Amino acid sequence: MAAATRDRDLFKLMRATGVRKKVAARVSEAVAEGNRAGKKAPKAARRAVRDFGELVTQLEDRVNGGPSKRSAAAKKAARTRQRKAEERSDAASRAAQTRAQS
Give the Cα separation of 3 and 59 in Å (integer): 31
Lowest mean pLDDT among 4-13, 48-57, 60-69: 60-69
Question: pTM of the prediction?
Answer: 0.48
Domain boundaries, the chain: 1-66, 68-102
Residue pair 2/25 in contact by the 8 Å Cβ criterion? yes
Give the 3-state DSSP-derived string for 48-85, with helices as H, strands as E and coil as C: HHHHHHHHHHHHHHHHCCCCHHHHHHHHHHHHHHHHHH
Q: What is the pLDDT of residues 2-40, one digit of tens each?
A: 445 678 898 899 899 898 999 888 888 888 877 676 677
Which SS3 state, helix, strand or coil, does residue 29 take? helix
Give the Cα separation of 102 and 87 in Å (integer): 23
